[in-house]
Structure 1
Amino acid sequence: MAQKGTGKTLEKLKSSVNDGKYYEAHQMYRTVARRYNKQEKYSQSIKLLHDGAVSLMQHKQSASGSDLANYMMETYMLANLPVDEKSLDRVIDILELYPSTEVGRKAFLSKTFSWTQKNGDYSEGDPELHDYVGTMFYQEGQYSLAEEHLLVGTDHSAELLGELSYTWAQQDANNGNGIYLARVVLQYLAMKSIRHATMTFNSFIKAANLSTSQADFRYSPAGETVKVPTFDDSWLNFTQLVLLTVQRDGSALFTQLKSTYGPMYHQQKGFDDLIDDIGAAFFNIQKPRKQGNIMQDLMNSLFTGGPSTNASRQVTGSPSLGLD
C-alpha cells in the first residue's frame, strides 16, 4: 500500500512539473519527503527526492532540482544507506544533469562523499565515484579539482591523470612538462601505489609522444641490466628514476637522487615532504622532525593549482642509472 501511495504521489508531482508548475511541485516534493523522513520511511523519501531532482533538472530548473538532490543526500545519511550500485546510480543520475554553473553542486558533492566515507569501505570515499567526479572536472577543464579526485580513484583514474598532467602542462609556458607528471607520480608513491604511479607515467609519455634516448638500469646490484628511456626534461628523468628506485633495494640510489635533484625540487612547495614520505615508505628513512600539520599543508599546496613559476627545467648532471 505504501508503494502504491508513493506511486500516485509521484504521478501527481510529475504532472505538475510537466505542466510548468515548478515552484508548486518543488514545495510538494519537499513536504512529502519531510513527512516520510519523520515516519522513518526513508526508501520512499529517497525515491521521491531522486525523481523530483531529475524531473526538475530535466526541465532546466536546476536550483530547485539541486535543493531536492541535497535533501536526498541528507536522507541517505539519516537512513545510514549502504554504498552500493543502486545508491550510487541515483547520485550519478543527478550529477549527469547538474549544470557546472549550479552553485548547489559543490554542496551535493560534499554530502555525497561524506556519505560514502561514513557508509562505505573507503576512508577517502568511493573510488568509482571519485573517478566519475574527477573525469567530470577534467572534461570541464578544472584540472586541480580533477587531480584531487582522480588520485583516490581507480585504474582508469591513474591513466587519465597521465593525460591530464600533459594537457595541463601545455597551458604553462614557465615550467617543463615533467613537473606536472612528477607531482602526481610522487603523490601516488607517497601512498605506496607503485602500480598507479606507473600507469600515470606511461599514460603521460604516450600522450606526450616524446622522442627519447636509452640508458642502462639495474633493479638490483646483481640483476640484469635493462634499457630505459631518458628525456630532455629533468623532471621526467627524476620521476622515472624515483619510480624505478622504489622497485629495488636502492636506498643508496634514492639518497643520491635526493642530492642530485634536490636543487630542482626544493623550489617547489610540498615536494620535499613527498620525497621524505617516499623515503620513509620504501626505505625506512626517518623523516625530518617538523612542526605543524605537514600533510595538511602539503595537500593544500598541491591542490591549489599548478606548480610555481620559478622551477628550473634542467639540472646539471644526473645519477648513474646503473648505480648499485
Structure 2
Amino acid sequence: MFFFQTIEKLDNMVDGGNYYEAQQMYKSTSARYIAAQKYLEALDILQSGALVQLKHGQVICGAELAIMFVDTLVNGALAYNEETFDRIRKIYEAFPRIHVPHFLGDDYDDDGQKLSEAISAAKVRSESCSSFLRAAIRWSAEIGTSRNGSPELHVMLAEYIYSESPETDMTKVSSHFVRGNDPKKFASMLANFMGKCYPGEDDTAIARGVIMYLSQGNLRDANLLMDELKEQLKSTNLDFPKTDLIQFIKYLLPTLERDAYPLLGHYGRSIRQVQIVTLYLRR
C-alpha cells in the first residue's frame, strides 16, 4: 500500500506543476529500490514518472526517466518479453507528436520566429525519444533477442524519426526499417516520402532500402518491399519511378536467385551507383 501511495504522491506533484521536484524524487526513490535489487518496483516508479512527465509535455524529464527505466532493465538483467516490450511501447507512445514539416503556413510569423521555436522543440523531442529507443535496442541486443536488437523497436524508432524529425534522414530511417520486421510499413513510408520528395530522390530512396536489405542477407524482405511499394503506389495514383537505377534493382533481385548476370550489362552506371551506396553503408 505504501509503495502505491508513493507513486500516487509523485504523480500528483507533477500534476500540480512541480516538475523538477518530482523528477528528483522519482530518481532518488527508484535508486533506493535498485540498491535493494527490487528492480520491478523501480521499474514501476520510473515508468509512472516518465508517462506523467511526458503527458505534461516535459520531454527532457520524461526521456531521462525513460532511459533510467531501460538502465534498470539492464542492471536487473531482465528478459525481453511481451510484458517488457509493452511497457517500452507505452512510454514511446507517450512522447508528444507534432509534425513539424507540415507547420509551414500562415500560422507562423513573417520573421519565422514561431517556426524556429517549433523546429527547436521538435529536435528536442526527436533526440529524446531516439535516445530512449536506442538504449532499449542496445538492451534487447545484449539480452539476446537478436544480433541487431528487437526488430519491433527498430520499426518504432524508424517511424518516429521519419514522422517527427524536422530534418528527415532517410538513411537512418531505412537503416532501422531493414533491421525491423515490417517491410509493408517500410513501403508505406517510402510511398509517403515519394509523394513529397524532390525530383530524383525517389529512386535513390527505393534502391537504398533494397540494398540495405540485401546487405543484411535478407532477399525475402527486399522483394516484399518492392512488391508492396508497387501496390501502395498504385492505390495512391503515384507512378513507380522508371529510371535506370530502378530498372537495375528490378533485374538485381531475380539475379540473386538465378544466373542472370548478362541481363545487367546495360546498367553499368546504375551498378556503380549501387556500389557507391553499398560502400557508404559499410562505413
Bucket of the pairwise TM-score, normalised by the shorter protein? 0.7 to 0.9
Structure 1 residue corresponding to 2:252, chosen from 237, 242, 252: 242
1:70 paired to 2:67: yes
How much does 1:268 deviate?
Answer: 5.1
Structure 2 residue corresponding to 1:15, chosen from 12, 17, 22: 12
- What residue in structure 1 maps to residue 272 of structure 2? 266
User: Normalising to structure 1: TM-score of the pair?
Assistant: 0.69
SS in 2 for 1:242: helix
- What residue in structure 1 maps to residue 177 of structure 2? 150
What are the superposed Cα offsets for residues 66-97 of structure 1, whole Å, 9 maximum, x if unpaired? 21111111111101111111111111111112
What are the superposed Cα offsets for residues 169-227 of structure 1, whole Å, 9 maximum, x if unpaired? 4513245x433222222222333322211111012222333899xxxxxxxxxxxxxxx
Of structures 1 and 2, the larger Rg is shown by: 1
Change in CA separation of 1:135 and 1:76 when aligned onto 2, cut-off 3 Å:
same
Structure 1 residue corresponding to 2:233, chosen from 205, 208, 219: 208
Determine if contact 1:17/1:56 at 8 Å carries over to the other structure: yes
Determine if contact 1:178/1:234 at 8 Å carries over to the other structure: no
1:159 paired to 2:194: no
Structure 2 residue corresponding to 1:136, chosen from 160, 184, 190: 160
User: Normalising to structure 2: TM-score of the pair?
Assistant: 0.78
1:173 paired to 2:199: yes
1:84 paired to 2:81: yes
Q: How many angstroms apart in 2 are the aligned matches of 1:207 and 1:29?
A: 46
What are the superposed Cα offsets for residues 229-252 of structure 1, whole Å, 9 maximum, x if unpaired? x9842222211111122223x1xx
How much does 1:263 deviate?
Answer: 2.2
- What residue in structure 2 maps to residue 195 of structure 1? 220
SS in 1 for 2:12: helix
- What residue in structure 1 maps to residue 23 of structure 2? 26
- What residue in structure 2 maps to residue 314 of structure 1? none
How much does 1:136 deviate?
Answer: 2.5
Q: What amino acid maps onto 2:74 in structure 1?
A: M
RMSD of equivalent CA atoms: 2.5
Change in CA separation of 1:184 and 1:8 when aligned onto 2, cut-off 3 Å:
same
Q: How many angstroms apart in 1 are the aligned matches of 2:28 and 2:206?
A: 50
Aligned identity (percent) is 25
Change in CA separation of 1:106 and 1:138 when aligned onto 2, cut-off 3 Å:
closer
Change in CA separation of 1:16 and 1:261 when aligned onto 2, cut-off 3 Å:
same
How much does 1:35 deviate?
Answer: 0.8
Q: How many angstroms apart in 2 are the aligned matches of 1:28 and 1:194?
A: 50
Structure 2: where are the runs of 5+ without partners?
Answer: 97-121
Q: How many angstroms apart in 2 are the aligned matches of 1:78 and 1:233?
A: 51
- What residue in structure 1 maps to residue 110 of structure 2? none
Structural mapping, 1:295-314, within 5 Å: 297-300=280-283
Determine if contact 1:17/1:25 at 8 Å carries over to the other structure: yes
Structure 2 residue corresponding to 1:108, chosen from 112, 132, 136: 132
Q: How many angstroms apart in 1 are the aligned matches of 2:80 and 2:133?
A: 15
SS in 2 for 1:270: helix
Q: How many angstroms apart in 2 are the aligned matches of 1:83 and 1:211?
A: 40
SS in 2 for 1:128: helix
Q: How many angstroms apart in 2 are the aligned matches of 1:112 and 1:20?
A: 29
1:121 paired to 2:145: yes
Q: How many angstroms apart in 1 are the aligned matches of 2:130 and 2:155?
A: 16
Q: How many angstroms apart in 2 are the aligned matches of 1:78 and 1:32?
A: 16
Change in CA separation of 1:168 and 1:19 when aligned onto 2, cut-off 3 Å:
closer
Determine if contact 2:137/2:150 at 8 Å carries over to the other structure: yes
How much does 1:46 deviate?
Answer: 0.7
Q: How many angstroms apart in 2 are the aligned matches of 1:70 and 1:152?
A: 21
Change in CA separation of 1:240 and 1:270 when aligned onto 2, cut-off 3 Å:
same
Q: What amino acid maps onto 2:10 in structure 1?
A: L
